[in-house]
């Protein structure tokens, strides 16, 4: 290659890198628009969302940094379902598509996915998609008590939210008639449409700046480069078959998550054969959500510098036999699918540890996200107080890392933030009396796990209220690695009273205080090898407390 050709190739590479960086900026602005305009605190305060750009074949080119792996990676599959039903060639300017179907979206009815085509000079050039968690979709409400998906809320099949710029008023009217907070549900759908519109507008600006007539060539290069880069990272690993299993609480009976991971020159195959069968409660997981979190477990330690898109994801293949809890067929109940699905990165990481990689210990993993409800029909009595429903997010401790302590009250793998106390007390008649670290909850080790937290709630007016619980790790705590100890299991109870189950809806009596203690993460390494200064620091800070 001549010096002129080398210079030209170098300039093209720089040009392509600039366009890639701009594309990341486009989707991040898309996500930030969603946060700024969202009505639900789950989105606005906790960041339970995803946003991304797709080519006309439904392949994800780029995702926003803001968002959760379950939403992002499941949304990556969802767009393909949309264009099967609504071919790109038939879409028109002003069209916006929507669904909350668990098997065509991100796994349960509370998540709405919106897809918007972007047009340049009358020709569709790209698709933008976004997802948010809406606090209530009717039915039994967000929780694990349903027996079939029909009980869990309103299911909107893939449909038009807007058709040629006109809102689907009938669909909106049906939605508002079936949910407990119609103002928020409607507003969140409009915020999804707004964020996609922002993404489309910024993309068109970028295309004009770079004199592009489409994103096909850029997208193809991004996908292929990402695929090759991921394969190059995998080629550095020890090829073979590695197995791991984890037992978790489940609803009534324990669940065994069984994984076989195969590393080869063609990529990584993850097989969940041997996993427990579907449950008769709402903790089942649609396959797209299983694939989302299992692939994220791989990406946590392999190819961290490789963009997460259709190219890098294509070499991580995840399967689970239909009828097991990780590939639950319709019409299984799936509302609390996160309680099981968010455990999968820890299961996959256990396989990768056997392949010689340094991985974190097990953590709380599943979010501790109670749904609090009140008012007439929820609790009995002549004066039950005002109606309300909120879905705050709380986290336990993450597992210890290979060379560091685990992060306390951190939502790994979901990335969803703790909901601020001030927001919860503003949006519901509740008082949060305590929100503090849970001493001694971290698993001991050379590197200890992260700490859980203690939360205490009561009704502001002394009324009874209901809580829908989707908590795991109450019976089977997060395990340590390499001689590290397990974290402390979670607890749920009435202050000064009885213990409650980790799963299911229960009524908190008038005047009672509900206490939730989230689990701590597991430790790594022999506790006797822990640095003495670190031990002293934990005691000084009150993170560990000696028995009196």
Region 500-507 average pLDDT: 96
Six-digit token string for 342: 């968010």
287-299 helix and 344-354 helix, angle to the nearest 10 degrees: 40
What digits encode the pLDDT tens for the residues 97-114? Answer: 999 999 999 999 999 999
CA dist., res. 293 & res. 366, Å (int): 11
Which residue in 260, 437, 318, 331 sits closest to 109, CA to CA?
A: 331
Six-digit token string for 373: 């409800």
For the chain, give every domain's residue range: 3-214, 233-358, 360-548
Lowest mean pLDDT among 15-19, 222-226, 254-258, 382-386: 15-19
Helices (H), 38-165: 41-44, 69-85
Region 438-442 average pLDDT: 97
**Cβ distance 46 to 419 under 8 Å?**
yes
**Cβ distance 456 to 495 under 8 Å?**
yes
Residue found by looking up tokens 């050709």 in the block: 5
Q: Please determine, for residue 9, whether its predicted confidence score (pLDDT) is greater than 60.
A: no
**Cβ distance 193 to 114 under 8 Å?**
yes
CA dist., res. 379 & res. 382, Å (int): 10
3-37 helix and 182-209 helix, angle to the nearest 10 degrees: 160
Q: What is the pLDDT of residue 548?
A: 42
Region 431-450 average pLDDT: 97
Which residue in 446, 497, 450 sits closest to 477, CA to CA?
A: 450
Residues 6+ apart with CB under 8 A from 89: 124
How many residues are recorded in the chain? 548
Residues 6+ apart with CB under 8 A from 106: 50, 70, 71, 74, 75, 78, 113, 131, 288, 289, 292
CA dist., res. 104 & res. 23, Å (int): 26
**Cβ distance 486 to 443 under 8 Å?**
yes
**Cβ distance 242 to 261 under 8 Å?**
yes
Question: Is the previous residue joined to 413 through a cis bond, with omega within 30 degrees of 0?
Answer: yes
pTM: 0.94
- Average pLDDT value for the chain: 93
Region 289-295 average pLDDT: 95
CA dist., res. 478 & res. 489, Å (int): 7
Helices (H), 48-117: 69-85
**Cβ distance 331 to 280 under 8 Å?**
no
Q: Are strands 316-319 and 453-459 parallel, antiparallel or unpaired?
A: unpaired
Q: How far is CA 7 from CA 20, 201, 206, 373, 406, in A?
A: 20, 33, 24, 64, 47
Q: What is the pLDDT of residue 5?
A: 47
Six-digit token string for 95: 């069209």
CA dist., res. 487 & res. 450, Å (int): 8
Which residue in 254, 236, 233, 237 sits closest to 245, CA to CA?
A: 254
Q: What is the pLDDT of residue 213?
A: 87
What digits encode the pLDDT tens for the residues 61-79? Answer: 999 888 788 888 888 889 9
Q: What is the pLDDT of residue 289?
A: 95
Residues 6+ apart with CB under 8 A from 341: 70, 107, 285, 289, 290, 292, 293, 326
Six-digit token string for 392: 């705050």
Q: Please determine, for residue 6, whether its predicted confidence score (pLDDT) is greater than 50.
A: no
Residue found by looking up tokens 């209220």 in the block: 465
- Please report which helix (H) or strand (E) contains residue 432, including its range: strand 430-437
DSSP at 528: G
Lowest mean pLDDT among 81-95, 333-347, 379-393: 379-393
**Cβ distance 485 to 445 under 8 Å?**
yes
Residue 12: band (very low, low, confident or very high) from pLDDT cuts 50, 70, 90: low
Q: Are strands 255-264 and 240-248 parallel, antiparallel or unpaired?
A: antiparallel
**Cβ distance 118 to 62 under 8 Å?**
no
**Cβ distance 352 to 261 under 8 Å?**
yes
CA dist., res. 491 & res. 500, Å (int): 8
CA dist., res. 407 & res. 359, Å (int): 14
CA dist., res. 548 & res. 544, Å (int): 12
């Amino acid at each position: 290659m001549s010096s002129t050709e080398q210079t030209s190739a170098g300039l093209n590479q720089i040009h392509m890198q600039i366009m890639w960086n701009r594309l990341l900026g486009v989707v991040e602005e898309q996500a930030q628009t969603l946060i700024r305009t969202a009505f639900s605190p789950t989105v606005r305060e906790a960041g339970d969302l995803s946003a991304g750009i797709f080519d006309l074949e439904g392949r994800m080119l780029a995702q926003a940094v803001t968002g959760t792996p379950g939403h992002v990676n499941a949304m990556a599959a969802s767009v393909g379902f949309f264009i099967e039903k609504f071919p790109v060639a038939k879409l028109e300017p002003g069209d916006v598509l929507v669904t909350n179907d668990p098997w065509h979206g991100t796994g349960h009815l509370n998540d709405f996915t919106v897809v918007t085509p972007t047009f340049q000079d009358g020709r569709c050039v790209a698709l933008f998609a976004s997802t948010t968690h809406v606090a209530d979709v009717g039915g039994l409400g967000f929780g694990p008590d349903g027996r079939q998906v029909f009980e869990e809320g309103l299911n909107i099949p893939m449909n038009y939210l807007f058709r040629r710029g006109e809102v689907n008023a009938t669909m909106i009217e049906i939605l508002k008639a079936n949910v407990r907070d119609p103002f928020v549900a409607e507003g969140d759908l409009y915020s999804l449409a707004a964020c996609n519109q922002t993404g489309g507008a910024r993309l068109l600006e970028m295309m004009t700046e770079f004199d592009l007539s489409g994103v096909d060539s850029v997208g193809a290069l991004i996908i292929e480069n990402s695929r090759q880069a991921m394969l190059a990272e995998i080629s550095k690993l020890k090829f073979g078959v590695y197995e791991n299993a984890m037992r978790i609480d489940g609803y009534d009976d324990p669940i065994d998550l069984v994984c076989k991971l195969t590393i080869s020159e063609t990529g990584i195959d993850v097989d969940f054969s041997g996993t427990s069968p579907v449950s008769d409660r709402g903790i089942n997981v649609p396959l797209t959500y299983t694939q989302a979190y299992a692939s994220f477990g791989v990406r946590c330690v392999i190819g961290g510098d490789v963009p997460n898109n259709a190219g890098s994801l294509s070499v991580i293949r995840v399967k689970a036999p239909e009828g097991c809890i990780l590939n639950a067929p319709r019409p299984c109940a799936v509302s609390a699918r996160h309680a099981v699905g968010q455990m999968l990165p820890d299961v996959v990481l256990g396989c990768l540890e056997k392949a010689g990689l340094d991985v974190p210990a097990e953590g709380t993993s599943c979010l501790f996200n109670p749904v609090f409800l009140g008012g007439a029909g929820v609790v009995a009595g002549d004066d039950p107080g005002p109606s309300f429903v909120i879905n705050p997010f709380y986290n336990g401790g993450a597992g210890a890392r290979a060379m560091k302590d685990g992060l306390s009250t951190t939502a790994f793998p979901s990335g969803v933030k703790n909901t601020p106390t001030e927001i919860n007390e503003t949006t519901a008649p509740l008082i949060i009396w305590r929100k503090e670290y849970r001493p001694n909850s971290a698993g001991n080790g050379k590197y200890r796990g992260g700490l859980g937290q203690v939360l205490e709630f009561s009704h502001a007016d002394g009324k009874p209220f209901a809580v829908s619980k989707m908590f795991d790790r109450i019976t089977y705590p997060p395990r340590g690695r390499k001689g590290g100890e397990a974290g402390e299991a979670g607890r749920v109870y009435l202050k000064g009273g009885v213990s409650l189950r980790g799963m299911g809806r229960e009524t908190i009596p008038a005047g009672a205080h509900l206490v939730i203690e989230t689990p701590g993460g597991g430790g790594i390494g022999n506790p006797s090898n822990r640095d003495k200064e670190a031990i002293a620091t934990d005691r000084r800070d009150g993170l560990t407390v000696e028995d009196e």
